[in-house]
Amino acid sequence: MKPKIVFSEKCLAYGSWHVEGPERVRKAYEVLKERGYEFLEPEPASEEDLLRVHDGEYVWMLKKGLIEDGDTPAYENIFEYAKLSAGGAILAAEVKGFSIMRPPGHHAGRNGAALGANTRGFCYLNNIAIAVRHLGKPTLILDIDGHHGNGTQEIFFGDDRVMYVSLHRHPHYPGTGAVSEANCLNFPLWGDCGDEVYLETLDGALGMVDVGRFEVVAVSAGFDTHMGDLASLGLTEKGYREIGKRIAALKKPTFFVLEGGYVGEQIGKDIGELLKSF
């Protein structure tokens, strides 16, 4: 049985001009619908869920529309959209599915911008962190977005119930993730390195993890690593299929949360390849 896809058309209602705009998700949805995936509608995350991850003052300011930077505008009702996206991640965690909700989340730290970045990189709430804290289980977070998830690292740094593993382009926004620290294993890669180098690096990264310690695998699934996308690592559809095989081989309950990727039809195809082993 194919994993269920978490999606709501409500997330298409803002930011039509932005690079992180609705078309990337709309087109991905259409591809996955054509491929016969079942869809689930999420509910917004509760403020209790948000406060397990984010500082109360930051949540209040986001609610009031007082949070804005060049990458991350204070759209009307953005707090409601962000809560719905976080709720999508929670639902994906509960059903072992894939949330394709927007906005993304892995650059959002406890108080917004994290680890030296001066923007939140299109992110308002850290969706995957909220879902992991909601489950409350020992979790391996694998971040395959083309950008380092500085917010996720900040939130879980030193948390012995969570290991964060990121493969990302470097140097590139946000400029973090050059070295591994504590429970955060970082694997910087050069642009357009290609499937072979990426998969060798992923194999090495997973070989460093004591998978038996963890009950859940949570994947920050960014597709801006696809050849020609915003943080290209030269990956192909075959590359994502091979990534999926390696994740499935961990034999743990797994869920996925969409991060980057800006060519919508290609995102849908890449998701289909990533999920073929599940």
Give me 137's structure tokens: 């289980």
107 part of the active site: yes
| Axis-axis angle for helices 78-95, 56-63 (nearest 10) | 120
Determine which one of 18, 54, 106, 107 is catalytic: 107
Give which of 131, 166, 125, 130 is closest to 253, Cα–Cα.
131
Distances in whole angstroms, Cα of residue 260 to Cα of each of 31, 38, 64, 138, 186: 17, 22, 26, 25, 18
Those residues with Cβ within 8 angstroms of residue 74's Cβ, 6 or more apart along the chain or in another chain: 65, 66, 67, 68
Query: Maximum distance among all alpha carbons in the chain?
Result: 46
Strands, DSSP E only, in 94-215?
98-99, 108-109, 112-113, 139-143, 162-169, 184-189
φ, ψ (nearest 5 deg) of residue 235: -80, 155
| 181/246 Cα distance (integer angstroms) | 24
Active site positions, annotated: 107
